[in-house]
């Protein structure tokens, strides 16, 4: 039976529910997949996400024998191409059953869409900058996804994408750190010595209001430190506002640490309670019960996720990195309820950060690969 590719124009489309519900069916009996919230998905499909103020894209569902068998979102991120001097299209929200006819039809649809826009390559899975991770899971299938920060998929996804002709573009690593990990004495001493001089200090927060007051400065530093990484790009003001609002919704201010030099923000550490269990039970829906579960999970979870760690380049050789890792250690000592720590989407090209994580007894936990297909 031929594969019928259908476009999902908006949330009123007859194929909208297929796009939303399909991964719930594919991962019905899987304990490691974590769903996106349906209202977030609706924002994308109705193209109300600020990405669509500068870029365009389409959502597709693959039908076979009248039943949804796969889905994909393909888009041309003009800001990404400008940042990286490329002419590429991207794909995300990729899911399919173990059926090569379906996966081939989806990738072909995305490649054709990109070709019509004179793109020279197709990259993915590629997120939308910020804390939205990129890459298909190729190692660590036994571990649960870190909320919706990074993609979870079955092992056969890799077979299908490589069989189509995609090749490696870049790997992102997630690291597991025991919360008993201790900073080497020389790093702790370097941090203490730098802070004692008085020019550097650590900003801590007790409320979201306090955090929101410095949010713009923090995002500016975030963009300067990570904007040229393969999974990020120079976000618009509308996108940074959306990012700040999203982070404030899930952030515990006590897990956010900001490094300042003479009262100017120069570094950041973003920690989050892992709410994956509550999100799994919500099945993507927001209602009084799911909200209660999410709020309860803040107190129940013994996992902390680190998704955002950086220092402005001009300060990286002055010891500020030591302060950042010392604050990571202090966070764990201040919150003994955490027994596990996962650092997500550390790009393979960030050699210094990878070495620092290994110094803290970190071990590779998951690998997500971004792929490239030349058109």
Tens of pLDDT, residues 189-247: 888 888 898 888 998 888 888 888 888 888 888 878 766 677 778 888 898 888 888 87
Q: What is the pLDDT of residues 265-290, one digit of tens each?
A: 998 888 999 999 999 999 989 889 98
- For residue 373, the model assigns a pLDDT of 98
- For residue 1, the model assigns a pLDDT of 60
Superfamily of domain 4-171: Gcn5-related N-acetyltransferase (GNAT) (3.40.630.30)
Could you tell me which residue, 293 or 347, shows the higher pLDDT? 293
Mean pLDDT of the chain: 90
The percentage of the chain sitting over the pLDDT mark of 90, rounded to a whole number, equals 54
pTM: 0.92
Compute the CA torsion angle 82, 88, 89, 92 (nearest 10 deg).
-90
- For residue 19, the model assigns a pLDDT of 98
Could you tell me which residue, 236 or 59, shows the higher pLDDT? 59
In the chain, what are the helix, strand and coil shares in percent, each to the nearest 5?
40, 25, 35
- According to the per-residue pLDDT averaged within each range, which of 166-170, 206-210, 239-243, 329-333 is highest? 166-170
Q: Is the pLDDT of residue 25 over 70?
A: yes
Could you tell me which residue, 47 or 242, shows the higher pLDDT? 47
* 55-59 CB contacts, 8 Å cutoff, 24+ apart: 55/79, 58/7, 58/8, 58/113, 59/7, 59/8, 59/19, 59/93
- Say which CATH architecture domain 177-367 belongs to: 3-Layer(aba) Sandwich (3.40)
Instruction: Give CATH 3.40.630.30 domain extents, the chain.
Output: 4-171, 177-367
How sure is the predictor about 135, in pLDDT bands with cuts at 50, 70 and 90?
very high
Q: How far is CA 42 from CA 38, 48, 167, 288, in A?
A: 6, 8, 31, 19
Could you tell me which residue, 107 or 306, shows the higher pLDDT? 107
């Amino acid at each position: 039976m031929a594969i019928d590719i259908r476009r999902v124009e908006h949330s009123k489309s007859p194929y909208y529910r297929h796009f939303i519900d399909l991964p719930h069916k594919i991962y019905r009996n899987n304990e490691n997949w974590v769903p996106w919230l349906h209202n977030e998905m609706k924002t994308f499909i109705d193209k109300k996400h600020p990405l669509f103020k500068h870029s365009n894209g389409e959502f597709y569902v693959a039908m076979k024998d009248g039943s949804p068998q796969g889905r994909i979102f393909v888009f041309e991120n003009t800001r990404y191409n400008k940042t990286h001097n490329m002419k590429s299209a991207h794909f995300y929200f990729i899911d399919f059953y173990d059926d090569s006819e379906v996966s081939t039809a989806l990738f072909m649809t995305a490649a054709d869409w990109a070709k019509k826009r004179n793109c020279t390559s197709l990259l993915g899975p590629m997120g939308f900058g910020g804390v939205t991770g990129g890459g298909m899971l190729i190692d660590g299938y036994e571990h649960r996804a870190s909320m919706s920060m990074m993609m979870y998929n079955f092992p056969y996804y890799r077979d299908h994408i490589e069989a189509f002709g995609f090749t490696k573009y870049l790997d992102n690593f997630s690291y597991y750190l025991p919360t008993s990990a201790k900073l080497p004495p020389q790093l702790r001493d370097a941090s203490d010595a730098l802070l004692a001089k008085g020019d550097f200090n650590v900003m801590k927060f007790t409320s979201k209001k306090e955090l929101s007051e410095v949010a713009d400065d923090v995002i500016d530093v975030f963009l300067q430190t990570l904007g040229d990484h393969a999974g990020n790009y120079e976000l618009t003001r509308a996108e940074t506002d959306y990012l700040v609002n999203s982070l404030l919704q899930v952030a515990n201010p006590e897990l956010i640490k900001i490094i300042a030099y003479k009262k100017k923000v120069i570094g950041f550490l973003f920690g989050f309670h892992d709410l994956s269990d509550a999100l799994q039970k919500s099945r993507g829906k927001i209602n009084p019960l799911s909200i209660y579960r999410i709020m309860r999970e803040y107190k129940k979870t013994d996992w902390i996720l680190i998704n955002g760690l950086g220092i402005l380049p001009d300060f990286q050789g002055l010891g500020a990195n030591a302060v950042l890792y010392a604050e990571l250690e202090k966070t764990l000592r201040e919150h003994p309820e955490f027994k596990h720590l996962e650092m997500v989407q550390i790009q393979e090209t960030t050699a210094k950060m990878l070495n620092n994580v290994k110094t803290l007894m970190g071990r590779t936990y998951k690998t997500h690969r971004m792929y490239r297909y030349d058109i």
